[in-house]
């Protein structure tokens, strides 16, 4: 067996950049047809191809999951894979500064977006007795981040959501697993005002020098930042036939950061 996704149809949320875009690309290269959702579909449109169906969707919207499911079935006739990836991370100034509205906004996308999307595709997968759910969590689901309290809690919840889904549905042909990335260089790092600019200001250095300093202080055994393609490769594996006997697990993609957790 290999990582071929020939004759498979996947839905990817948060597909317009970073990990979602890299996963969409690898799914397509593996032979899958992909319904790729994001608020900004420009990068997806640039990929092109008959096997790709970009959809502008806001996963904060309770109706988005049903919309994507219907579009996948209408366009391709089946759904074999779901990669829940859309999420938000907002730096906070301490736990006491986070309002109820902040908590609700984070959980509505980071957790309930996954719940709604899983609930939407499961009936079809169960009818066919085949399916793979993969959910993107984070190392912060296990190692709390002081600047990301609500984000960390939402990612911890995803770990249990996947186990619940695996427990109930694996016997009916649907697997559920998690990838937990850390220190992956995406647009969250590189955009103006992003994490890299914050590091440069903290260290009083240039942007690339800040990366070198961070790598020395963050104790990442691999000695480099992750790439979106690193995470995408893990998602591809978990979605493929090679992982048919793997369910209810968390695959850490972090260069060894959580080796003792």
pLDDT at position 214: 85
Crossing angle of helices 100-110 and 112-128, in 10° steps, is 20
Confidence (pTM):
0.93
* Closest-CA residue to 132 (of 230, 216, 30, 255): 30
Q: Which residue has the higher pLDDT, 195 or 65?
A: 65
Mean pLDDT over the full length of the chain: 94
SS3 81: strand
Summarize pLDDT for 164-199 with one digit per residue, the tens. 999 999 999 999 999 999 989 987 788 887 778 878
Residues designated as active site: 151
d(C-alpha 93, C-alpha 90), whole Å: 10
* pLDDT at residue 37, rounded to an integer: 98
In DSSP terms, 55 is beta-bridged to 37
For residues 226-231, average pLDDT: 96
Token pair, residue 260, equals 């003792």
Cα–Cα distance between 93 and 88 in angstroms, integer?
16
12: which 2 tokens?
């990817």
> In sequence order, which residues have a C-beta less than 8 Å from that of residue 55 and are 6 or more positions away?
35, 36, 37, 41, 67, 68, 71
Phi then psi for residue 237, to 5 deg, are -60, -50
Residue from 45, 30, 148 nearest 87 by CA: 148
Please give the pLDDT value at position 242.
96
Report the number of secondary-structure helices (H) and strands (E) in the chain: 10, 7
CA atoms within 13 A on the CB side of 90: 18
Q: Over the stretch 6-64, which tens digit does the pLDDT of each residue have? A: 999 999 999 999 999 999 999 999 999 999 999 999 999 999 899 999 999 999 999 99
pLDDT in tens, 106-127: 999 999 999 999 999 999 999 9
C-alpha to C-alpha distance for 50 and 54, rounded to whole angstroms = 11
259: confidence class by pLDDT, cuts 50, 70, 90: low
Residue 75 tokens read as 């366009």
Of the two residues 257 and 115, the one the predictor is more confident about is: 115
SS3 128: helix
Domains observed in the chain: 9-184+227-253 (3.40.50.720), 186-225 (no CATH)
For residue 154, CA distances in Å to 91, 116, 199, 210 come to 14, 15, 25, 29
Query: What's the pLDDT score for residue 216?
Result: 84
Cβ neighbours of residue 24 closer than 8 Å, sequence gap 6 or more: 12, 15, 34, 36, 44, 47, 52
How far apart (Å, rounded) are the C-alpha atoms in residues 236 and 135? 12
**pLDDT for residue 1:** 46
Residue that wins the pLDDT comparison between 220 and 107: 107
């Amino acid at each position: 067996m290999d990582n071929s996704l020939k004759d498979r149809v996947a839905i990817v949320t948060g597909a317009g950049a970073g990990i979602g875009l890299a996963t969409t690309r690898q799914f397509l290269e593996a032979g899958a047809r992909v319904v790729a959702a994001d608020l900004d579909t420009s990068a997806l449109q640039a990929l092109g191809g008959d096997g790709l169906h970009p959809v502008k969707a806001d996963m904060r919207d309770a109706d988005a999951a049903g919309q994507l499911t219907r579009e996948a079935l209408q366009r391709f006739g089946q759904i074999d894979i779901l990669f829940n990836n859309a999420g938000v991370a907002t730096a906070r100034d301490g736990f006491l500064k986070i309002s109820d509205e902040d908590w609700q906004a984070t959980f509505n996308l980071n957790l309930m977006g996954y719940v709604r999307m899983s609930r939407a595709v499961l009936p079809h997968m169960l009818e066919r007795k085949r399916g793979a759910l993969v959910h993107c969590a984070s190392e912060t689901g296990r190692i709390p981040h002081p600047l990301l309290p609500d984000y960390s809690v939402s990612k911890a919840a995803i770990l249990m959501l996947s186990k619940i889904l695996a427990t109930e549905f694996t016997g009916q042909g649907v697997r559920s697993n998690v990838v937990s990335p850390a220190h992956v260089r995406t647009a969250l790092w590189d955009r103006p005002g992003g994490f890299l600019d914050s590091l440069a200001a903290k260290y009083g250095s240039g942007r690339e020098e800040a990366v070198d300093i961070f790598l020395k202080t963050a104790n990442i055994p691999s000695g480099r930042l992750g790439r979106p393609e690193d995470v995408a490769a893990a998602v591809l594996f978990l979605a493929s036939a090679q992982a048919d006997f793997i369910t209810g697990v968390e695959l850490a993609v972090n260069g060894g950061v959580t080796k003792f957790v």
